[in-house]
């Protein structure tokens, strides 16, 4: 079994949510950490129907358990009305719940009780390099993606295709967009082509034949269902005009590869470079969550085109992702422009396919990707 980097409290003192994209391994992780918990799985049809018809049955079922027994509810978002019962049991019975799911969107849309801040929040990402250890292979990860089942499968293409089809069926129907399924499917293809790029809602809207407002709403569905996330622009104290629109990254690079019809991505190609940037974002975002240090991520770009892929902790660190075996002066342009704009940057990095670590005359550190992930997950990179 793969040891996950997300550390959950072995004896929770507070209820908490565990969110994560579909098939990241939330149930497997919870069952390993809490083997004695009482499970209520809303993927089970009988359980779903029973509690949907009478949410108050949850109170009766929990009251019949020993008072110190942890209660885990899988896919809790499927019955928003349950949250009122859970809230009551937390307040009046001092029960502790673990609620896991892939989207809080249905709960918010139904204006259901999200426990009023009484529950902590954790997020489980797809696999990261530190969890795989000797099993980590960059080319495999950029082609198979981050989901455990897909990464470990020798031929994951059918599984990835089924994953996307199930997502469309479940989430689009849940949003009441069944009549717009072809449009939303086309939107996913267009969004995948711009993975990692600065969002331009109007351009994607023209490609899909819908309004920019509709496209913005579609991106919100991707974010709420954890299929992707925004990377905001860094806009504080600019000397020159900066781009302010966010970038968007899908949560799994294999999903991007499928939707964008990339085929197999090979080192040295432009598509490999795009996939490499998604992976670096994935590692940084997961580390920011798992480390408990709340590292802030953004990007920086001037209207003239100079850009730095990732800004960490309010300009404390700047990092570029370049899938090149030999980083050149052209690759360093953005980091050097950044120093003119924000002289207080402590460290500047380029993560690349270079064979050796080196430091340029002006202090930019070129890191082979293997050294980058080692230092990142050891907690040595941002010091």
Edge to edge, the sheet with strand 71-74 lists 38-41, 71-74, 97-101, 16-19, 120-123
Phi, psi of 73, rounded to the nearest 5 degrees: -115, 115
Report the C-alpha dihedral over residues 271, 276, 279, 284, rounded to 10 degrees: -140
Q: Where are the alpha helices (DSSP H) in the chain?
A: 26-33, 45-53, 57-63, 82-93, 105-109, 129-132, 138-144, 148-152, 157-167, 173-174, 181-193, 201-208, 212-224, 253-259, 270-290, 333-341, 369-378
Q: How far apart are CA 103 and CA 135, in angstroms?
A: 30
- C-beta of residue 186 within 8 angstroms of C-beta of residue 215: no
Q: Which of 18, 13, 8 is nearest to 99 (CA)?
A: 18
Task: List pLDDT tens digits, range 339-376.
Answer: 988 988 999 999 999 999 999 999 999 999 999 999 99
Report the C-alpha dihedral over residues 86, 87, 93, 96, rounded to 10 degrees: 60
Query: Alpha carbon 87 to chain centroid distance?
Result: 27
Edge to edge, the sheet with strand 347-352 lists 297-301, 307-312, 317-321, 347-352, 364-368, 358-359
Q: How far apart are CA 67 and CA 83, in angstroms?
A: 19
DSSP state of 134: G
The tens place of each residue's pLDDT in the chain, 383 residues long, gives 799 999 999 999 999 999 999 999 999 999 999 999 999 999 899 999 999 999 999 999 999 999 999 999 999 888 888 988 999 999 999 999 999 988 777 666 654 556 666 678 999 999 999 999 999 999 999 999 999 999 999 999 999 999 998 887 776 666 665 567 788 889 999 999 999 999 999 999 999 999 999 999 999 989 988 999 999 999 887 667 888 999 999 999 999 999 999 999 999 999 999 999 999 999 999 999 999 888 999 999 999 889 999 999 999 999 999 999 999 999 999 999 999 889 889 999 999 999 999 999 999 999 999 999 999 999 999 98
pLDDT attached to residue 93: 94
pTM metric for this prediction: 0.94
Q: Where in the chain is the domain with CATH 3.40.50.300?
A: 16-123
CATH topology of domain 16-123: Rossmann fold (3.40.50)
Q: How far apart are CA 101 and CA 267, in angstroms?
A: 35
């Amino acid at each position: 079994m793969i040891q996950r980097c997300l550390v959950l409290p072995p004896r929770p003192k507070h209820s908490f949510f565990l969110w994560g994209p579909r098939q990241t391994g939330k149930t497997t992780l919870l069952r390993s950490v809490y083997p004695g918990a009482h499970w209520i799985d809303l993927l089970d049809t009988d359980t779903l129907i029973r509690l949907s018809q009478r949410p108050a049955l949850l109170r009766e079922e929990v009251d019949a358990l020993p008072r110190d027994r942890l209660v885990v509810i899988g896919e809790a978002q499927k019955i928003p009305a349950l949250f009122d019962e859970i809230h009551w049991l937390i307040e009046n019975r001092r029960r502790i719940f673990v609620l896991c799911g892939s989207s809080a969107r249905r709960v918010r849309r139904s204006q259901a009780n999200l426990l009023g801040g009484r529950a902590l929040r954790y997020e489980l990402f797809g696999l990261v390099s530190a969890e795989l250890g000797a099993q980590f292979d960059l080319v495999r990860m950029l082609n198979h993606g981050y989901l455990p089942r897909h990464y470990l499968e020798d031929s994951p293409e059918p599984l990835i295709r089924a994953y996307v089809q199930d997502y469309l069926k479940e989430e689009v129907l849940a949003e009441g967009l069944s009549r717009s399924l072809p449009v939303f499917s086309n939107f996913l293809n267009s969004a995948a082509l711009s993975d990692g790029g600065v969002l331009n809602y109007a351009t994607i809207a023209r490609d899909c034949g819908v309004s920019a407002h509709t496209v913005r709403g579609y991106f919100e569905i991707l974010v709420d269902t954890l299929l992707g996330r925004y990377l905001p622009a860094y806009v504080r104290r600019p000397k020159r005009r900066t781009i302010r629109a966010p970038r968007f990254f899908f949560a799994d690079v294999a999903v991007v590869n499928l939707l964008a019809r990339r085929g197999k991505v090979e080192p040295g190609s432009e598509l490999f470079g795009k996939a490499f940037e998604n992976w670096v974002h994935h590692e940084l975002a997961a580390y920011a969550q798992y480390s408990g240090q709340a590292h802030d991520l953004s990007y920086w770009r001037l209207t003239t085109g100079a850009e730095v892929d990732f800004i960490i902790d309010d300009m404390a660190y700047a990092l570029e992702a370049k899938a090149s075996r030999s980083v050149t002066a052209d690759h360093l342009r953005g980091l050097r422009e950044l120093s003119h704009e924000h002289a207080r940057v402590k460290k500047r990095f380029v993560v690349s396919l270079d064979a050796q670590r080196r430091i340029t005359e002006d202090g930019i550190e070129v890191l082979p990707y293997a050294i980058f992930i080692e230092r990142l997950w050891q907690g040595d990179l941002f010091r």
